Amino acid sequence: MASITKVSPLAPAAFPELPAIDGVRFATVEAGVRYQGRTDVMLAVLDPGTSVAGVFTRSATRAAPVLDCQEKIGGPSDGPAAILVNSGNANAFTGHYGQSSVAEVTQAVSKTTGVPVERVFTSSTGVIGEPLPHGRIVAQLEALKSGLSRHVIEDAARAIMTTDTFPKGASAQVEIDGKTVSIAGISKGSGMIAPDMATMLVYIFTDAQVEQSALQQMLGTQTDRTFNCITVDSDTSTSDSLLLCATGASGVDATDNAAFAEALETVMLDLAQQVVRDGEGATKFVEIRVTGAVTDADAKVHGLAIANSPLIKTAIAGEDPNWGRVVMAIGKSGAAADRDLLSISFGDILVAEKGWVSPDYREEDAAEYMKAQDLVIGVDLGLGAGKSTVWTCDLTHGYIEINADYRS
């Protein structure tokens, strides 16, 4: 596997200080699943009564852990729960062996922690098509149990990394009925990013009390506005999983609470954008704002067509304001567009309007703008009130270097 030695230039200055969430404890170990000299397994154990919601990849080649989690979501929530994640091996495209590995791990976690097996959720990330050496994980479960702590969520974020160059975390707090409710989440993701229902691996925890079906509905709504609006390379993973856990330890009922939903969306969007900022080889963070579409859905189709275009992404890497490629992406997207109504901007620079180059446009101004690390491409279709915002990064030689020998 290509060595990742440099932290992304788009990375935050440091891992944020996340609040400890009552009702959940974490532990990590170095199990040697694939990597040497670093932690690669994370365990989270949640108190009885924790509600667990989840969204997952809709890939037709979903990994065994994803299928197992999908079967368990929505089940009984009165007992404790556990989440175990390994990096280095995706346990995907491994047939019956993959299913056996999941069974071995979930049963062993249940025996070690006392969590009912139907409440043990697992995720795996890494190389596809290789059997998971689950015995190495099982052998470390006692060590994981003894290391459980409320205060090591950053360690958990590091243990689930693959080609990530930095651990990702975000949090929010909100006042409900005079009491403070906390939310903290971690994610991993850098390549194979074009979510479909969820993205990469994401785990979000709150001490709020939310009934499972309400939590599930809230998660689905917020996912469509956050994780399903990012892309790095247009490839949807076999392993995408997002679990949202509400321990209820605060005693505050946040069901249908608008302030809580807004805080949750803030955490989810922060984590999603951090994934883009850690896109493999990325040097530019790009926000694409589409307005004036017939519908919001059409706007998103146009936005993703722009965000996933290799021609646009390489032009951004080369700091070339090649707006003609934006015109191309809109024309090929399949959503409604009218050439003679189209306007395009780079930041505050109006490039084209109503199907023609703006008379005030100067190439040198746009070229200077493209030197920035954070860029905004604006598109107005002039057709209606539909709008959407998506986020992506540039495509550089670094992406090729990482992925050309990912398995070696």
Dihedral, 113, 144, 153, 68 alpha carbons, nearest 10: -60
Distance CA 324, CA 321 (A): 9
User: Exposed, middle or buried, 14 (CB in 10 Å: 0-12/13-18/19+)?
Assistant: exposed
**Which residue among the candidates 28, 94, 163, 199 is catalytic per the annotation?**
199
206 sits in which H/E element: strand 201-206
Is residue 199 flagged as an active site residue? yes
Contact 85, 123 (CB under 8 A): yes
At 197, phi and psi to the nearest 5?
A: 95, -45
Q: Provide the phi-psi class of 332: left if phi over 0, else alpha when psi is between -120 and 50, else beta.
A: alpha
110-136 exposure pattern, b = at least 16 Cβ within 10 A, e = fewer: bebbebbeebbbbbbbbbbebebbbeb
Distance CA 239, CA 357 (A): 43
Q: Which residue has the tokens 């932690």?
A: 39
- How close are the terminal C-alpha atoms of the chain, in Å? 4
> What positions carry a catalytic annotation?
199
